[in-house]
Structure 1
Protein backbone atom coordinates (compact mmCIF):
# COMPACT_ATOMS: atom_id res chain seq x y z
CA UNK A 1 0.00 0.00 0.00
CA UNK A 2 1.28 3.43 -0.90
CA UNK A 3 1.59 5.53 2.26
CA UNK A 4 2.40 8.76 0.49
CA UNK A 5 3.68 10.29 -2.71
CA UNK A 6 4.96 13.86 -2.40
CA UNK A 7 6.03 15.93 -5.43
CA UNK A 8 8.00 19.16 -5.15
CA UNK A 9 8.89 21.49 -8.02
CA UNK A 10 12.28 23.01 -7.19
CA UNK A 11 13.62 26.15 -8.85
CA UNK A 12 17.11 24.87 -9.70
CA UNK A 13 19.37 21.81 -9.34
CA UNK A 14 20.94 23.18 -6.15
CA UNK A 15 17.56 23.43 -4.46
CA UNK A 16 16.67 19.95 -5.67
CA UNK A 17 19.90 18.64 -4.15
CA UNK A 18 19.22 20.34 -0.80
CA UNK A 19 15.70 18.96 -0.62
CA UNK A 20 16.90 15.49 -1.66
CA UNK A 21 19.36 15.53 1.24
CA UNK A 22 16.55 16.42 3.65
CA UNK A 23 14.47 13.55 2.28
CA UNK A 24 17.43 11.18 2.55
CA UNK A 25 17.91 12.06 6.22
CA UNK A 26 14.19 11.52 6.87
CA UNK A 27 14.31 8.19 5.05
CA UNK A 28 17.17 7.02 7.25
CA UNK A 29 15.16 7.88 10.35
CA UNK A 30 12.11 6.06 8.99
CA UNK A 31 14.14 2.95 8.14
CA UNK A 32 15.54 2.80 11.65
CA UNK A 33 12.01 2.66 13.06
CA UNK A 34 10.25 0.65 10.35
CA UNK A 35 12.50 -1.81 8.53
CA UNK A 36 9.81 -3.01 6.13
CA UNK A 37 9.09 0.39 4.55
CA UNK A 38 9.86 0.80 0.86
CA UNK A 39 11.01 4.39 0.33
CA UNK A 40 12.14 6.13 -2.85
CA UNK A 41 13.32 9.59 -3.87
CA UNK A 42 13.79 10.49 -7.54
CA UNK A 43 14.69 13.76 -9.25
CA UNK A 44 13.67 14.56 -12.83
CA UNK A 45 13.97 18.04 -14.35
CA UNK A 46 14.08 19.63 -10.87
CA UNK A 47 10.96 17.76 -9.73
CA UNK A 48 11.63 15.72 -6.60
CA UNK A 49 9.25 12.81 -6.08
CA UNK A 50 9.27 11.20 -2.64
CA UNK A 51 7.37 7.96 -2.25
CA UNK A 52 6.74 5.50 0.57
CA UNK A 53 5.05 2.07 0.56
CA UNK A 54 4.26 -0.50 3.21
CA UNK A 55 2.86 -3.96 2.45
CA UNK A 56 3.12 -5.54 5.89
CA UNK A 57 -0.37 -5.52 7.52
CA UNK A 58 1.19 -5.43 10.98
CA UNK A 59 2.41 -1.88 10.26
CA UNK A 60 -1.15 -0.55 10.29
CA UNK A 61 -1.79 -1.68 13.84
CA UNK A 62 -1.16 1.22 16.21
CA UNK A 63 -0.15 4.78 15.39
CA UNK A 64 2.73 4.04 13.01
CA UNK A 65 1.11 5.65 9.97
CA UNK A 66 0.62 9.02 11.70
CA UNK A 67 4.24 8.94 12.89
CA UNK A 68 5.39 8.42 9.31
CA UNK A 69 3.15 11.28 8.16
CA UNK A 70 4.59 13.54 10.86
CA UNK A 71 8.15 12.79 9.77
CA UNK A 72 7.24 13.53 6.15
CA UNK A 73 5.38 16.71 7.12
CA UNK A 74 8.28 18.04 9.17
CA UNK A 75 10.70 17.40 6.33
CA UNK A 76 8.53 19.19 3.78
CA UNK A 77 7.87 22.07 6.20
CA UNK A 78 11.61 22.54 6.71
CA UNK A 79 12.11 22.58 2.94
CA UNK A 80 9.37 25.19 2.48
CA UNK A 81 10.82 27.45 5.17
CA UNK A 82 14.38 27.20 3.87
CA UNK A 83 13.83 27.30 0.11
CA UNK A 84 10.34 28.50 -0.83
CA UNK A 85 9.44 31.03 1.82
CA UNK A 86 11.61 33.86 0.50
CA UNK A 87 10.00 33.56 -2.94
CA UNK A 88 6.53 33.52 -1.39
CA UNK A 89 7.33 36.73 0.49
CA UNK A 90 8.68 38.38 -2.67
CA UNK A 91 5.50 37.41 -4.52
CA UNK A 92 3.29 38.95 -1.82
CA UNK A 93 5.32 42.16 -1.87
CA UNK A 94 5.24 42.37 -5.65
CA UNK A 95 1.54 41.62 -6.08
CA UNK A 96 0.04 43.51 -3.14
CA UNK A 97 2.31 46.53 -2.61
CA UNK A 98 3.54 49.22 -4.96
CA UNK A 99 7.30 49.64 -4.55
CA UNK A 100 8.71 49.70 -8.10
CA UNK A 101 12.10 51.06 -6.99
CA UNK A 102 14.43 48.01 -6.79
CA UNK A 103 16.38 49.52 -3.89
CA UNK A 104 13.23 50.10 -1.83
CA UNK A 105 12.02 46.63 -2.76
CA UNK A 106 15.24 45.08 -1.48
CA UNK A 107 15.20 47.11 1.74
CA UNK A 108 11.71 45.80 2.53
CA UNK A 109 12.80 42.24 1.77
CA UNK A 110 15.73 42.76 4.14
CA UNK A 111 13.24 43.66 6.89
CA UNK A 112 11.27 40.52 6.02
CA UNK A 113 14.34 38.32 6.25
CA UNK A 114 15.18 39.70 9.68
CA UNK A 115 11.65 38.96 10.91
CA UNK A 116 11.49 35.50 9.35
CA UNK A 117 14.78 34.39 10.87
CA UNK A 118 16.93 31.50 9.73
CA UNK A 119 17.39 29.37 12.86
CA UNK A 120 14.50 27.05 13.59
CA UNK A 121 15.77 26.29 17.08
CA UNK A 122 16.09 29.88 18.27
CA UNK A 123 13.44 31.78 16.34
CA UNK A 124 9.92 31.78 17.77
CA UNK A 125 8.38 32.99 14.52
CA UNK A 126 10.11 30.20 12.58
CA UNK A 127 8.82 27.58 15.01
CA UNK A 128 5.28 28.94 14.82
CA UNK A 129 5.28 28.87 11.01
CA UNK A 130 6.81 25.38 11.04
CA UNK A 131 4.03 24.11 13.31
CA UNK A 132 1.40 25.63 11.01
CA UNK A 133 2.88 23.86 8.01
CA UNK A 134 3.38 20.53 9.77
CA UNK A 135 -0.20 20.49 10.98
CA UNK A 136 -1.57 21.32 7.52
CA UNK A 137 0.69 18.87 5.70
CA UNK A 138 -0.09 16.04 8.08
CA UNK A 139 -3.81 16.70 7.68
CA UNK A 140 -3.50 16.62 3.89
CA UNK A 141 -1.57 13.34 3.94
CA UNK A 142 -4.16 11.81 6.24
CA UNK A 143 -6.97 12.79 3.88
CA UNK A 144 -5.14 11.84 0.68
CA UNK A 145 -1.62 10.43 0.43
CA UNK A 146 -0.88 12.23 -2.87
CA UNK A 147 0.55 15.71 -2.26
CA UNK A 148 2.05 18.41 -4.46
CA UNK A 149 3.94 20.95 -2.38
CA UNK A 150 3.07 24.00 -4.52
CA UNK A 151 -0.59 22.95 -4.63
CA UNK A 152 -0.60 22.69 -0.85
CA UNK A 153 0.88 26.19 -0.54
CA UNK A 154 -1.69 27.61 -2.95
CA UNK A 155 -4.85 25.97 -1.64
CA UNK A 156 -4.31 24.41 1.79
CA UNK A 157 -2.10 26.76 3.82
CA UNK A 158 -4.27 29.77 4.57
CA UNK A 159 -3.00 30.34 8.11
CA UNK A 160 0.60 30.22 6.92
CA UNK A 161 -0.13 32.55 3.98
CA UNK A 162 -1.87 34.97 6.35
CA UNK A 163 1.19 34.96 8.61
CA UNK A 164 3.52 35.74 5.69
CA UNK A 165 1.28 38.60 4.53
CA UNK A 166 1.29 40.09 8.04
CA UNK A 167 5.08 39.85 8.11
CA UNK A 168 5.32 41.69 4.78
CA UNK A 169 2.89 44.36 6.00
CA UNK A 170 4.96 44.85 9.15
CA UNK A 171 8.17 45.08 7.10
CA UNK A 172 6.56 47.70 4.84
CA UNK A 173 5.51 49.73 7.90
CA UNK A 174 9.06 49.49 9.29
CA UNK A 175 10.51 50.64 5.98
CA UNK A 176 8.14 53.62 5.77
CA UNK A 177 8.98 54.60 9.35
CA UNK A 178 12.70 54.35 8.60
CA UNK A 179 12.26 56.50 5.51
CA UNK A 180 10.27 59.05 7.47
CA UNK A 181 13.00 59.04 10.12
CA UNK A 182 15.73 59.64 7.53
CA UNK A 183 13.75 62.52 6.02
CA UNK A 184 13.20 63.95 9.50
CA UNK A 185 16.90 63.74 10.40
CA UNK A 186 17.85 65.22 7.03
CA UNK A 187 15.60 68.21 7.66
CA UNK A 188 17.12 68.84 11.08
CA UNK A 189 20.67 68.42 9.74
CA UNK A 190 19.92 71.08 7.12
CA UNK A 191 18.54 73.43 9.77
CA UNK A 192 21.51 72.92 12.11
CA UNK A 193 24.02 73.42 9.28
CA UNK A 194 22.86 76.99 8.67
CA UNK A 195 22.33 77.85 12.34
CA UNK A 196 24.89 80.06 14.09
CA UNK A 197 26.18 78.76 17.46
CA UNK A 198 24.69 80.58 20.46
CA UNK A 199 26.49 78.83 23.32
CA UNK A 200 30.00 77.34 23.31
CA UNK A 201 29.31 73.93 24.87
CA UNK A 202 26.58 71.57 26.07
CA UNK A 203 27.19 68.29 27.88
CA UNK A 204 24.78 65.40 27.23
CA UNK A 205 24.81 62.69 29.90
CA UNK A 206 23.42 59.44 28.54
CA UNK A 207 21.76 57.87 31.58
CA UNK A 208 20.85 54.69 29.72
CA UNK A 209 18.20 53.69 27.20
CA UNK A 210 16.52 56.83 25.87
CA UNK A 211 17.24 58.93 28.98
CA UNK A 212 19.47 61.95 28.48
CA UNK A 213 20.50 64.75 30.81
CA UNK A 214 21.56 68.15 29.42
CA UNK A 215 24.15 70.29 31.23
CA UNK A 216 25.64 73.64 30.25
CA UNK A 217 29.38 74.33 30.01
CA UNK A 218 29.52 74.78 33.82
CA UNK A 219 27.75 71.41 34.32
CA UNK A 220 24.53 73.04 35.46
CA UNK A 221 21.25 71.49 34.27
CA UNK A 222 19.77 72.96 31.11
CA UNK A 223 16.06 73.60 31.07
CA UNK A 224 14.28 71.64 28.37
CA UNK A 225 12.68 74.04 25.92
CA UNK A 226 9.45 73.75 24.04
CA UNK A 227 9.38 74.07 20.28
CA UNK A 228 10.57 77.53 19.31
CA UNK A 229 9.69 77.62 15.64
CA UNK A 230 11.43 74.32 14.85
CA UNK A 231 9.10 71.55 13.75
CA UNK A 232 10.19 68.46 15.68
CA UNK A 233 7.84 65.66 14.77
CA UNK A 234 7.53 62.76 17.15
CA UNK A 235 8.85 59.62 15.52
CA UNK A 236 7.40 57.56 18.35
CA UNK A 237 5.10 59.13 20.92
CA UNK A 238 6.64 57.27 23.85
CA UNK A 239 9.98 55.63 23.05
CA UNK A 240 11.51 58.78 21.54
CA UNK A 241 9.78 61.37 23.66
CA UNK A 242 12.96 62.18 25.61
CA UNK A 243 14.98 62.25 22.40
CA UNK A 244 12.61 64.78 20.80
CA UNK A 245 12.81 67.07 23.84
CA UNK A 246 16.61 66.89 23.80
CA UNK A 247 16.82 67.60 20.06
CA UNK A 248 14.46 70.55 20.40
CA UNK A 249 16.50 72.01 23.26
CA UNK A 250 19.84 71.51 21.54
CA UNK A 251 18.59 73.15 18.36
CA UNK A 252 17.18 76.03 20.40
CA UNK A 253 20.44 76.75 22.27
CA UNK A 254 22.58 75.89 19.21
CA UNK A 255 25.84 74.85 20.92
CA UNK A 256 29.12 75.11 19.04
CA UNK A 257 30.13 71.78 20.59
CA UNK A 258 28.19 68.89 22.12
CA UNK A 259 29.98 66.37 24.31
CA UNK A 260 27.96 63.18 24.72
CA UNK A 261 29.05 61.20 27.78
CA UNK A 262 27.95 57.59 27.31
CA UNK A 263 28.90 54.01 28.00
CA UNK A 264 26.66 52.87 25.12
CA UNK A 265 27.66 54.83 22.00
CA UNK A 266 25.93 52.27 19.77
CA UNK A 267 22.46 53.17 21.08
CA UNK A 268 19.97 54.62 18.57
CA UNK A 269 19.50 57.83 20.56
CA UNK A 270 23.25 58.53 20.37
CA UNK A 271 23.37 57.79 16.65
CA UNK A 272 20.45 60.16 16.08
CA UNK A 273 22.18 63.07 17.82
CA UNK A 274 25.41 62.33 15.95
CA UNK A 275 23.58 62.28 12.63
CA UNK A 276 21.84 65.60 13.28
CA UNK A 277 24.71 67.61 14.76
CA UNK A 278 27.55 65.86 12.92
CA UNK A 279 30.90 67.67 13.44
CA UNK A 280 29.65 69.46 16.54
CA UNK A 281 29.42 66.14 18.43
CA UNK A 282 32.19 64.55 20.46
CA UNK A 283 31.65 61.16 22.10
CA UNK A 284 33.15 60.75 25.58
CA UNK A 285 33.43 57.27 27.09
CA UNK A 286 35.31 58.45 30.18
CA UNK A 287 36.38 61.79 31.63
CA UNK A 288 36.41 63.48 35.06
CA UNK A 289 33.13 65.26 34.25
CA UNK A 290 31.16 62.04 33.85
CA UNK A 291 33.22 59.70 36.04
CA UNK A 292 31.37 60.54 39.24
CA UNK A 293 27.93 60.14 37.64
CA UNK A 294 28.62 56.76 36.08
CA UNK A 295 30.34 55.51 39.21
CA UNK A 296 27.28 56.38 41.31
CA UNK A 297 24.93 54.68 38.86
CA UNK A 298 27.10 51.58 38.49
CA UNK A 299 27.74 52.11 34.77
CA UNK A 300 31.52 52.28 34.99
Structure 2
Protein backbone atom coordinates (compact mmCIF):
# COMPACT_ATOMS: atom_id res chain seq x y z
CA UNK A 1 0.00 0.00 0.00
CA UNK A 2 1.10 3.54 -0.75
CA UNK A 3 0.23 6.19 1.80
CA UNK A 4 0.73 9.71 3.06
CA UNK A 5 0.47 10.67 6.72
CA UNK A 6 -0.67 14.14 7.84
CA UNK A 7 0.06 15.22 11.40
CA UNK A 8 -1.10 18.19 13.46
CA UNK A 9 -1.22 19.45 17.03
CA UNK A 10 -4.67 20.93 16.52
CA UNK A 11 -7.84 20.43 14.49
CA UNK A 12 -7.30 16.78 13.66
CA UNK A 13 -11.08 16.52 13.27
CA UNK A 14 -11.04 19.10 10.47
CA UNK A 15 -8.25 17.25 8.69
CA UNK A 16 -10.12 13.96 9.04
CA UNK A 17 -13.31 15.47 7.65
CA UNK A 18 -11.61 17.30 4.77
CA UNK A 19 -9.49 14.30 3.76
CA UNK A 20 -12.48 11.99 4.04
CA UNK A 21 -14.39 14.15 1.58
CA UNK A 22 -11.41 14.29 -0.76
CA UNK A 23 -10.93 10.53 -0.62
CA UNK A 24 -14.55 10.03 -1.69
CA UNK A 25 -13.72 12.05 -4.79
CA UNK A 26 -10.81 9.68 -5.41
CA UNK A 27 -13.11 6.68 -5.09
CA UNK A 28 -15.28 8.18 -7.82
CA UNK A 29 -12.18 8.00 -10.03
CA UNK A 30 -11.81 4.28 -9.26
CA UNK A 31 -9.21 4.50 -6.47
CA UNK A 32 -9.74 2.68 -3.18
CA UNK A 33 -8.44 4.69 -0.24
CA UNK A 34 -8.44 4.09 3.52
CA UNK A 35 -7.98 6.53 6.41
CA UNK A 36 -6.39 5.56 9.71
CA UNK A 37 -5.65 7.66 12.79
CA UNK A 38 -2.76 7.46 15.22
CA UNK A 39 -0.93 9.69 17.69
CA UNK A 40 2.65 10.39 18.73
CA UNK A 41 3.25 12.77 21.61
CA UNK A 42 1.26 15.94 21.12
CA UNK A 43 0.65 15.20 17.43
CA UNK A 44 -2.26 13.33 15.92
CA UNK A 45 -1.97 11.76 12.48
CA UNK A 46 -4.35 10.77 9.72
CA UNK A 47 -2.86 8.31 7.27
CA UNK A 48 -4.28 8.08 3.76
CA UNK A 49 -3.47 4.86 1.95
CA UNK A 50 -4.23 3.57 -1.52
CA UNK A 51 -5.47 0.02 -1.19
CA UNK A 52 -4.25 -2.86 -3.43
CA UNK A 53 -6.28 -3.01 -6.58
CA UNK A 54 -7.09 0.66 -6.21
CA UNK A 55 -6.06 1.41 -9.76
CA UNK A 56 -3.50 0.58 -12.44
CA UNK A 57 -2.93 3.99 -13.98
CA UNK A 58 0.64 5.24 -14.13
CA UNK A 59 -0.29 8.67 -12.81
CA UNK A 60 -2.06 7.29 -9.71
CA UNK A 61 0.54 8.73 -7.31
CA UNK A 62 0.34 12.18 -8.90
CA UNK A 63 -3.47 12.14 -8.62
CA UNK A 64 -3.25 10.99 -4.99
CA UNK A 65 -0.76 13.73 -4.06
CA UNK A 66 -2.82 16.35 -5.90
CA UNK A 67 -5.92 15.55 -3.83
CA UNK A 68 -3.93 15.61 -0.58
CA UNK A 69 -2.29 18.93 -1.52
CA UNK A 70 -5.63 20.46 -2.44
CA UNK A 71 -7.14 19.46 0.90
CA UNK A 72 -4.21 20.79 2.93
CA UNK A 73 -4.00 24.07 1.02
CA UNK A 74 -7.72 24.64 1.65
CA UNK A 75 -7.25 23.93 5.36
CA UNK A 76 -4.21 26.21 5.65
CA UNK A 77 -6.02 29.08 3.93
CA UNK A 78 -9.12 28.43 5.97
CA UNK A 79 -8.81 27.37 9.59
CA UNK A 80 -5.03 27.70 9.97
CA UNK A 81 -4.83 31.14 8.43
CA UNK A 82 -7.37 32.49 10.91
CA UNK A 83 -5.58 30.82 13.81
CA UNK A 84 -2.23 32.22 12.68
CA UNK A 85 -3.63 35.74 12.35
CA UNK A 86 -5.24 35.61 15.78
CA UNK A 87 -2.04 34.22 17.32
CA UNK A 88 0.02 37.05 15.78
CA UNK A 89 -2.41 39.70 16.98
CA UNK A 90 -2.64 38.25 20.48
CA UNK A 91 1.13 37.83 20.91
CA UNK A 92 2.33 41.06 19.31
CA UNK A 93 -0.55 43.38 20.20
CA UNK A 94 -1.58 42.05 23.59
CA UNK A 95 -2.26 45.58 24.85
CA UNK A 96 -5.46 45.78 22.78
CA UNK A 97 -8.60 44.38 24.36
CA UNK A 98 -10.55 41.48 22.86
CA UNK A 99 -12.95 43.65 20.87
CA UNK A 100 -10.08 45.71 19.44
CA UNK A 101 -8.16 42.58 18.47
CA UNK A 102 -11.26 41.25 16.72
CA UNK A 103 -11.51 44.46 14.68
CA UNK A 104 -7.83 44.21 13.76
CA UNK A 105 -8.45 40.60 12.69
CA UNK A 106 -11.23 41.73 10.33
CA UNK A 107 -8.99 44.41 8.82
CA UNK A 108 -6.25 41.79 8.30
CA UNK A 109 -8.66 39.51 6.44
CA UNK A 110 -9.49 42.44 4.18
CA UNK A 111 -5.81 42.94 3.36
CA UNK A 112 -5.58 39.24 2.52
CA UNK A 113 -8.26 39.54 -0.13
CA UNK A 114 -11.44 38.67 1.73
CA UNK A 115 -14.49 40.76 0.92
CA UNK A 116 -17.02 42.00 3.48
CA UNK A 117 -19.08 38.87 2.90
CA UNK A 118 -16.09 36.68 3.70
CA UNK A 119 -15.68 35.57 0.09
CA UNK A 120 -12.17 34.89 -1.15
CA UNK A 121 -10.78 37.13 -3.87
CA UNK A 122 -8.05 36.63 -6.45
CA UNK A 123 -5.35 37.25 -3.85
CA UNK A 124 -6.45 34.15 -1.90
CA UNK A 125 -6.60 32.05 -5.06
CA UNK A 126 -3.02 33.07 -5.80
CA UNK A 127 -2.02 32.08 -2.26
CA UNK A 128 -3.68 28.71 -2.72
CA UNK A 129 -1.77 27.95 -5.91
CA UNK A 130 1.58 28.83 -4.32
CA UNK A 131 0.87 26.79 -1.18
CA UNK A 132 -0.46 23.85 -3.16
CA UNK A 133 2.65 23.82 -5.37
CA UNK A 134 4.92 23.76 -2.30
CA UNK A 135 2.93 20.93 -0.72
CA UNK A 136 3.19 18.92 -3.94
CA UNK A 137 6.96 19.48 -4.08
CA UNK A 138 7.26 18.33 -0.47
CA UNK A 139 5.11 15.23 -0.96
CA UNK A 140 7.18 14.10 -3.94
CA UNK A 141 10.06 13.57 -1.49
CA UNK A 142 8.20 12.77 1.75
CA UNK A 143 5.27 10.60 2.79
CA UNK A 144 4.66 12.41 6.08
CA UNK A 145 3.83 16.07 6.63
CA UNK A 146 3.17 17.92 9.89
CA UNK A 147 1.03 20.95 9.18
CA UNK A 148 2.49 23.35 11.79
CA UNK A 149 6.08 22.52 10.87
CA UNK A 150 5.39 22.81 7.17
CA UNK A 151 3.84 26.25 7.61
CA UNK A 152 6.69 27.46 9.81
CA UNK A 153 9.62 26.22 7.72
CA UNK A 154 8.30 25.86 4.17
CA UNK A 155 5.83 28.76 3.95
CA UNK A 156 7.99 31.62 5.25
CA UNK A 157 6.91 33.93 2.43
CA UNK A 158 3.30 33.24 3.28
CA UNK A 159 3.92 33.92 6.99
CA UNK A 160 5.54 37.24 6.06
CA UNK A 161 2.42 38.12 4.06
CA UNK A 162 0.30 37.41 7.14
CA UNK A 163 2.55 39.53 9.36
CA UNK A 164 2.39 42.44 6.92
CA UNK A 165 -1.39 42.11 6.72
CA UNK A 166 -1.59 42.33 10.52
CA UNK A 167 0.70 45.38 10.61
CA UNK A 168 -1.44 47.15 8.02
CA UNK A 169 -4.56 46.11 9.91
CA UNK A 170 -3.25 47.70 13.11
CA UNK A 171 -2.54 50.93 11.20
CA UNK A 172 -6.07 50.84 9.78
CA UNK A 173 -7.57 50.25 13.21
CA UNK A 174 -5.63 53.13 14.80
CA UNK A 175 -6.59 55.48 11.97
CA UNK A 176 -10.23 54.49 12.28
CA UNK A 177 -10.13 54.99 16.05
CA UNK A 178 -8.58 58.43 15.63
CA UNK A 179 -11.22 59.27 13.03
CA UNK A 180 -14.04 58.21 15.34
CA UNK A 181 -12.56 60.28 18.18
CA UNK A 182 -12.33 63.23 15.78
CA UNK A 183 -15.99 62.74 14.78
CA UNK A 184 -17.06 62.69 18.43
CA UNK A 185 -15.18 65.94 19.04
CA UNK A 186 -16.85 67.62 16.05
CA UNK A 187 -20.27 66.38 17.17
CA UNK A 188 -19.60 67.92 20.58
CA UNK A 189 -18.73 71.27 18.96
CA UNK A 190 -21.94 71.17 16.94
CA UNK A 191 -24.06 70.28 19.96
CA UNK A 192 -22.77 73.16 22.07
CA UNK A 193 -22.83 75.62 19.17
CA UNK A 194 -25.87 77.82 18.74
CA UNK A 195 -27.36 77.43 15.27
CA UNK A 196 -26.65 80.56 13.20
CA UNK A 197 -28.82 79.53 10.26
CA UNK A 198 -31.89 77.37 9.85
CA UNK A 199 -31.00 75.69 6.58
CA UNK A 200 -27.95 75.26 4.34
CA UNK A 201 -27.95 73.77 0.85
CA UNK A 202 -24.65 72.07 -0.06
CA UNK A 203 -24.16 71.90 -3.80
CA UNK A 204 -21.35 69.62 -4.96
CA UNK A 205 -19.38 71.02 -7.90
CA UNK A 206 -16.95 69.42 -10.35
CA UNK A 207 -13.35 69.34 -9.18
CA UNK A 208 -14.18 68.76 -5.53
CA UNK A 209 -15.47 72.27 -4.75
CA UNK A 210 -18.74 73.07 -3.00
CA UNK A 211 -21.25 75.91 -3.04
CA UNK A 212 -23.29 76.82 0.04
CA UNK A 213 -26.75 78.32 -0.39
CA UNK A 214 -29.17 79.73 2.17
CA UNK A 215 -32.83 78.83 2.65
CA UNK A 216 -33.69 81.05 -0.35
CA UNK A 217 -31.19 79.07 -2.43
CA UNK A 218 -28.96 82.12 -2.75
CA UNK A 219 -25.18 82.02 -2.26
CA UNK A 220 -24.55 82.12 1.46
CA UNK A 221 -22.71 85.28 2.47
CA UNK A 222 -22.08 85.84 6.16
CA UNK A 223 -19.62 88.44 7.49
CA UNK A 224 -18.27 86.32 10.35
CA UNK A 225 -17.15 83.63 7.89
CA UNK A 226 -14.66 85.91 6.14
CA UNK A 227 -11.81 85.35 8.62
CA UNK A 228 -12.47 81.62 8.54
CA UNK A 229 -12.11 81.54 4.76
CA UNK A 230 -8.91 83.59 4.93
CA UNK A 231 -7.37 81.09 7.38
CA UNK A 232 -8.46 78.08 5.39
CA UNK A 233 -7.30 79.42 2.03
CA UNK A 234 -3.88 80.52 3.30
CA UNK A 235 -1.90 78.31 0.93
CA UNK A 236 -3.39 75.43 -1.04
CA UNK A 237 -7.19 75.39 -0.96
CA UNK A 238 -8.66 72.35 0.77
CA UNK A 239 -12.34 72.45 -0.13
CA UNK A 240 -13.24 69.62 2.22
CA UNK A 241 -11.72 71.28 5.30
CA UNK A 242 -13.38 74.54 4.30
CA UNK A 243 -16.78 72.86 3.99
CA UNK A 244 -16.57 71.06 7.35
CA UNK A 245 -15.28 74.14 9.18
CA UNK A 246 -17.98 76.34 7.67
CA UNK A 247 -20.80 73.97 8.55
CA UNK A 248 -19.55 73.56 12.12
CA UNK A 249 -19.34 77.36 12.49
CA UNK A 250 -22.88 77.75 11.15
CA UNK A 251 -24.25 74.69 12.99
CA UNK A 252 -27.36 74.67 10.75
CA UNK A 253 -30.46 72.91 11.97
CA UNK A 254 -30.94 71.33 8.55
CA UNK A 255 -28.55 70.47 5.70
CA UNK A 256 -29.59 69.44 2.21
CA UNK A 257 -26.97 67.75 0.03
CA UNK A 258 -27.42 68.23 -3.71
CA UNK A 259 -25.75 65.99 -6.30
CA UNK A 260 -25.20 63.48 -3.50
CA UNK A 261 -25.02 60.64 -6.00
CA UNK A 262 -22.37 62.28 -8.21
CA UNK A 263 -19.81 59.59 -7.64
CA UNK A 264 -19.20 57.57 -4.50
CA UNK A 265 -19.55 59.23 -1.13
CA UNK A 266 -16.13 60.44 -0.09
CA UNK A 267 -14.77 60.97 3.40
CA UNK A 268 -16.01 64.54 3.75
CA UNK A 269 -19.58 63.57 2.92
CA UNK A 270 -19.47 60.67 5.37
CA UNK A 271 -18.11 63.08 7.98
CA UNK A 272 -21.03 65.46 7.42
CA UNK A 273 -23.55 62.65 7.85
CA UNK A 274 -21.87 61.49 11.07
CA UNK A 275 -21.30 64.91 12.63
CA UNK A 276 -24.73 66.29 11.72
CA UNK A 277 -26.62 63.07 12.31
CA UNK A 278 -30.35 63.62 12.01
CA UNK A 279 -29.96 67.01 10.33
CA UNK A 280 -28.88 65.89 6.85
CA UNK A 281 -30.91 64.73 3.90
CA UNK A 282 -30.14 64.19 0.24
CA UNK A 283 -31.98 66.00 -2.53
CA UNK A 284 -33.66 63.50 -4.82
CA UNK A 285 -33.48 65.85 -7.78
CA UNK A 286 -34.25 69.52 -8.34
CA UNK A 287 -33.24 72.36 -10.73
CA UNK A 288 -30.32 73.17 -8.42
CA UNK A 289 -28.81 69.76 -8.93
CA UNK A 290 -28.60 70.37 -12.67
CA UNK A 291 -27.07 73.82 -12.42
CA UNK A 292 -23.62 72.94 -11.11
Alpha-carbon displacement from aligned partner over 1:131-169 (angstroms, at most 9, x marks no partner): 232122112111212111111112211121111112111
Question: What is the rounded CA distance, in whole Å, between the counterparts of 1:7 and 1:50 in structure 2?
Answer: 9
1:280-299 equivalences under 5 Å are 281-286=279-284, 290-294=285-289
Question: What is the rounded CA distance, in whole Å, between the counterparts of 2:227 and 2:125 in structure 1?
Answer: 47
For the Cα contact (< 8 Å) 2:258–2:288, is it kept in 1? no
The change in CA–CA distance for 1:139 and 1:71 in structure 2 (over 3 A counts) is same
1:99 to 80, 95, 100: 95
The change in CA–CA distance for 1:258 and 1:141 in structure 2 (over 3 A counts) is same
The change in CA–CA distance for 1:296 and 1:74 in structure 2 (over 3 A counts) is farther
Alignment partner, residue 74 of structure 1 = 70
1:93-172 equivalences under 5 Å are 93-116=89-112, 117=114, 122-172=120-170
For the Cα contact (< 8 Å) 1:226–1:249, is it kept in 2? no
**Offset, 1:178:** 0.3
Question: What is the rounded CA distance, in whole Å, between the counterparts of 1:197 and 1:74 in structure 2?
Answer: 63
Q: Which moved more, 1:142-151 or 1:39-48?
A: 39-48
Question: What is the rounded CA distance, in whole Å, between the counterparts of 1:141 and 1:225 in structure 2?
Answer: 74
- What are the ranges of 5 or more consecutive residues in structure 1 without an aligned counterpart? 232-240
1:191-206 equivalences under 5 Å are 191-205=189-203
**Offset, 1:199:** 3.0
For the Cα contact (< 8 Å) 1:202–1:214, is it kept in 2? yes
The change in CA–CA distance for 1:111 and 1:122 in structure 2 (over 3 A counts) is closer
Alignment partner, residue 272 of structure 2 = 273
Alignment partner, residue 237 of structure 1 = none
Alpha-carbon displacement from aligned partner over 1:83-117 (angstroms, at most 9, x marks no partner): 22211101111222343322222221232344443
Instruction: With the length of structure 1 as denominator, give the TM-score of the two structures.
Output: 0.75
Alignment partner, residue 235 of structure 2 = none
Question: What is the rounded CA distance, in whole Å, between the counterparts of 2:46 and 2:206 in structure 1?
Answer: 56
1:40 to 2, 12, 35: 35
Alignment partner, residue 248 of structure 2 = 251
For the Cα contact (< 8 Å) 2:258–2:289, is it kept in 1? no
Q: Which moved more, 1:162-171 or 1:213-222?
A: 213-222
Aligned length: 279
Question: What is the rounded CA distance, in whole Å, between the counterparts of 1:59 and 1:74 in structure 2?
Answer: 22
Question: What is the rounded CA distance, in whole Å, between the counterparts of 1:259 and 1:39 in structure 2?
Answer: 69
SS in 2 for 1:51: strand
Q: Which moved more, 1:199-208 or 1:189-198?
A: 199-208
SS in 2 for 1:4: strand
Alignment partner, residue 235 of structure 1 = none
What is the CA RMSD across the aligned residues, in angstroms? 3.8
2:175 to 166, 177, 193: 177
**Offset, 1:183:** 1.5
The change in CA–CA distance for 1:122 and 1:111 in structure 2 (over 3 A counts) is closer
- What are the ranges of 5 or more consecutive residues in structure 2 without an aligned counterpart? 233-237
For the Cα contact (< 8 Å) 2:256–2:283, is it kept in 1? no
Instruction: With the length of structure 2 as denominator, give the TM-score of the two structures.
Output: 0.77
SS in 1 for 2:18: helix
Question: What is the rounded CA distance, in whole Å, between the counterparts of 2:49 and 2:268 in structure 1?
Answer: 57
**Offset, 1:182:** 0.8
Question: What is the rounded CA distance, in whole Å, between the counterparts of 2:90 and 2:62 in structure 1?
Answer: 38
Question: What is the rounded CA distance, in whole Å, between the counterparts of 1:33 and 1:220 in structure 2?
Answer: 76
For the Cα contact (< 8 Å) 2:16–2:46, is it kept in 1? no
**Offset, 1:79:** 1.5
